[in-house]
């Protein structure tokens, strides 16, 4: 297949494009950086483009069998008004421009990323794909993002919306930022540590995306999270045990809110999200528990 990956130069996109190339697909990735600034997997074609704006890059869509939409400003950081604008534009405008570029009458599929932040905050309640959106900033962002992707169905496309948990891998994502502190024995829970931490290992995430892309009957919403969500405190203890380091220094809730504002409050909440549809489809996880995932990524 010919596959276009928006935002394909990042942590997830690099892993996915490498896997797709190895399976014999033709892969084009988009990004804003100059080609010389990037190290892409061998065989990947690069298209420099600002996907938040319409342009010549949209002609590439008609040459593809499918699109994986991973574009998005990193969520980490203090959410100023300008940061929120970038978070929305990078997701919603890109998805809108993608769908607007879909050719009429050509079979094509769209696999568009979203996040478990869609559900908002529900304490200890387990959440499946059937549950509705929350009302906080991140939930509304995910809701609007998904609505843009769903428009592709009007053009006859098969649409997959994949809600990612926190992706764990030592080469990027949240784990890369946390590892140095834990290795020095300075890690600990965020606030009281009772908030849920819905996560997935990078290899399982890529496996799940390839699994769904390859199933012509798969469409709709899929939670891409491990089947064993943990609390932040359980995650912290597992990290300390795997690294054989103490992990008892908490990050006080008031400090997180003071430093990170609204994003800090989000870190102190969380969702207990379950991959019910993925399991029903017959997907098998390589790393179903947090200990297995951390042992693989923190040698």
The model's pLDDT over 237-258, given as tens digits with 9 standing for 90+, comes to 998 888 888 777 778 786 778 7
pLDDT tens sequence across 66-121: 999 999 999 988 899 999 999 999 999 999 999 999 988 788 999 999 999 999 99
| Residue 82, both tokens | 């300008």
Residue 157 is predicted with a pLDDT of 94
| Residue 4, both tokens | 């276009």
Cα gap 257→259, rounded to integer Å: 6
Counted residue by residue, the chain has a size of 299
Residue 61 is predicted with a pLDDT of 94
Q: Name the residue with higher pLDDT: 219 or 107.
A: 219
> Torsion over CA of 210, 215, 220 and 221, rounded to 10 degrees?
-40
Please enumerate in sequence order all residues whose Cβ is within 8 A of that of 19, keeping only pairs 6 or more positions apart, or say none: 206, 210
Cα gap 28→8, rounded to integer Å: 8
Question: Where residue 210 falls among pLDDT bands split at 50, 70, 90?
Answer: very high
What is the mean predicted confidence (pLDDT) over 193-222? 96
Q: Is the pLDDT of residue 154 over 70?
A: yes
- Could you give the 3-state DSSP secondary structure of residue 215? coil
Please enumerate in sequence order all residues whose Cβ is within 8 A of that of 144, keeping only pairs 6 or more positions apart, or say none: 88, 92
What is the model's pTM?
A: 0.94
Fold of 2-167+199-226+274-280: Rossmann fold (3.40.50)
Sequence spans of domains, the chain? 2-167+199-226+274-280
Contact 291, 242 (CB under 8 A): yes
Q: Cβ-count burial of 263 within 10 angstroms (0-12 exposed, 13-18 middle, 19+ buried)?
A: buried
pLDDT tens sequence across 24-55: 999 999 988 877 677 788 889 999 999 999 99
DSSP 8-state assignment for residue 92: I
DSSP 8-state assignment for residue 161: E
Question: Where residue 299 falls among pLDDT bands split at 50, 70, 90?
Answer: low
């Amino acid at each position: 297949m010919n596959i276009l990956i928006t935002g394909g130069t990042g942590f997830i996109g690099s892993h996915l494009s490498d896997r797709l190339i190895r399976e014999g697909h033709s892969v084009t990735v988009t990004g804003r950086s100059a080609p010389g600034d990037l190290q892409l997997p061998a065989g990947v074609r690069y298209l420099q483009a600002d996907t938040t704006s319409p342009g010549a890059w949209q002609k590439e869509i008609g040459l593809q069998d499918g699109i994986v939409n991973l574009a998005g400003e990193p969520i980490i950081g203090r959410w100023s008004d300008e940061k929120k604008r970038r978070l929305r534009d990078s997701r919603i405008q890109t998805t809108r421009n993608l769908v607007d570029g879909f050719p009429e009458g050509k079979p094509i599929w769209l696999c568009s990323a979203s996040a478990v932040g869609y559900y908002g905050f529900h304490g200890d309640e387990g959440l499946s794909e059937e549950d509705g959106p929350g009302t906080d900033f991140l939930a509304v962002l995910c809701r609007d993002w998904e609505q843009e992707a769903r428009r592709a169905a009007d053009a006859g496309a098969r649409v997959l919306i994949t809600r990612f948990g926190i992706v764990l891998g030592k080469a990027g994502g949240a784990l890369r930022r946390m590892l140095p502190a834990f290795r020095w024995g300075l890690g600990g829970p965020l606030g009281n540590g009772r908030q849920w931490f819905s996560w997935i290992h990078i290899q399982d995430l890529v496996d799940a995306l390839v699994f769904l892309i390859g199933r012509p009957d798969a469409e709709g919403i899929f939670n891409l999270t491990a089947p064993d969500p943990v609390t932040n405190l359980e995650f912290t203890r597992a990290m300390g045990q795997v690294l054989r380091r103490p992990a008892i220094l908490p990050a006080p809730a008031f400090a997180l809110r003071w430093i990170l504002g609204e994003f800090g409050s989000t870190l102190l909440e969380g969702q207990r999200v379950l991959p019910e549809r993925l399991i029903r489809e017959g997907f098998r996880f390589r790393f179903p528990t947090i200990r297995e995932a951390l042992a693989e990524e923190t040698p």
